[in-house]
Amino acid sequence: MTESSVLEVPRKRRRFTAAFKARIVEACQQPGASVAGVALEHSLNANLVHNWIRTTRQQTAVPEIPAFVPVPMTRELSPATPQHQVADPIRLTIPHPNGPMVIEWPASEADACRSLIRELLA
């Protein structure tokens, strides 16, 4: 009897450059392209390509801007303040991704300021 033995060489894990991954993801996003088809063309596993697509979406995702942002008030106006006194302006600081927005409003026009805030938050 003759026995033959086959030695299997362990497969090395393939490494792909970021540019190659970007080309594959872009090819998958073309109209009419399927992820499985693109993967087969490049001898890749479709699940691996799906993983690259998910990773790309997560890296390029823009965080959502919250619908409601608390507005810190510098001071509270009391209704007992007489109208003839000159009061400090109402100062609103609104956080924004490009930097805080500061709005100064005359204290005598507090009702109009309140209406503006209601419209902005509606």
Residues 68, 56, single domain; the answer is no
- Asked if residue 118 and residue 79 are part of one domain, the reply reads yes
List, for residues 16-42, the tens digit of each pLDDT value.
Answer: 999 999 999 999 999 999 999 999 999
Are the CB atoms for 35 and 47 separated by under 8 Å?
A: no
Q: Which two tokens stand for residue 54?
A: 């998910």
What is the domain extent for residue 29? Answer: 18-60
Q: 47 and 70: one domain?
A: no
What's the whole-model pTM score?
0.45
Q: Are residues 56 and 93 in the same domain?
A: no
In degrees and rounded to multiples of 5, residue 48 shows phi and psi of: -65, -45
Q: Are residues 54 and 73 in the same domain?
A: no
Domain count, the chain: 2
Residue 84 has pLDDT above 60, yes or no: no
114 vs 6 pLDDT, higher one: 114
| Gap between the Cα atoms of 78 and 114, Å rounded | 14
| CA–CA separation, 61 and 38 (whole Å) | 23
